[in-house]
Structure 1
Amino acid sequence: MRSTTDLTTTVTTALTTTALTVGALAAGLLAGAAPVAAAPPRLGPCDAGQLCLWVKEDFRGAKRTHELADVDVDSCVPLPAGTTAAALANRTGRPVTTYQSAECAETGEFETYPGGGTWVPQSSYQVRAFKVWES
């Protein structure tokens, strides 16, 4: 009987604590307090005229930079074998399509980003190649 009483006390205490926490949160929201949210990732540094690709999400890890002067426009540019990108910034001034396929095949995932200044902290696939478009 004693263990049942201890269990009942523990459950009652846990439920009361949860109710107080939820009640305090609701009261704060009703009083106009904003809910606490995770801070958005900082934009990765990428200069005008560049396409910047990061190995890790949220603009972390090694960064690979490509400039229009070094890229054949309208041509597939594969990343070095065995490397991928998980985040990117397009500041080329031209549309850029990133590809899951290292051959820019449209059978895998791909997406085009405008060139006026697009930051993508988390690609929905591992980028293995890209193509810069004329316009």
Structure 2
Amino acid sequence: MRSTTVLTAAVTTLLATGALAAGVLGGAAPVAAAPPRLGPCETGQLCLWAKEGFRGARHTHELTDVDIEACVPLPAGTTAAALANRTGRPVTTYQSAECAETGEFETYPGGGTWVPQSPYQVRAFKVWET
């Protein structure tokens, strides 16, 4: 009985820490984590979500609404933690609201890039000519 209780406690701990999913228990096959559900974003749009995992308020931008290669700051007091680039053009997101390269920035291809968790809070972006 005690060994069953100890084994159950060990498996529960491993599940809680993700070690079982990583295949730590005696050759157990790794369990793949479910991929995040992609947020809705139409062709031709740049979609930005307030929260990771494509959750929270979503803001959409289309090429007709932005100047190519111009810095587009998000509305004051807002940031994005997830994004989808379906503009057909490369988009660079910036940690800085002024698109300053002294902060973090990353460029994403425009053919359909979903980023469920940005490595920084996005405060501005630029759409580039292809």
TM-score interval (norm. to shorter): 0.7 to 0.9
Q: In 2, distance between residues paired with 1:106 and 1:134?
A: 19
Q: In 1, distance between residues paired with 2:40 and 2:11?
A: 44
Superposed CA deviations along residues 80-125 of structure 1, whole A, max 9, x for unmatched, are 0100000000000000000000000000000000000000000000
Moved runs in structure 1, 4+ residues, more than 6 A?
A: 19-22
For 2:77, the equivalent position in structure 1 comes to: 82
SS of 2:26 mapped into structure 1: helix
Alignment CA distance shift 1:101-1:15 (3 Å): same
For 2:111, the equivalent position in structure 1 comes to: 116
Pick the structure with more helix per residue: 1
Q: In 1, distance between residues paired with 2:11 and 2:124?
A: 52
- Percent identity for Structure 1 against Structure 2: 81
The size of the alignment, in residue pairs, is 119
1:42 lines up with 2:43 in the alignment: no
For 1:126, the equivalent position in structure 2 comes to: 121
Q: Which structure has the greater CA radius of gyration? A: 1
1:106 lines up with 2:101 in the alignment: yes
1:26 lines up with 2:26 in the alignment: yes
SS of 2:64 mapped into structure 1: helix
For 1:51, the equivalent position in structure 2 comes to: 46
Given the two structures, how large is their TM-score scaled by the length of structure 2? 0.81
Gaps of 5+ in 2: 15-24
Please provide the CA RMSD for this pair. 2.4
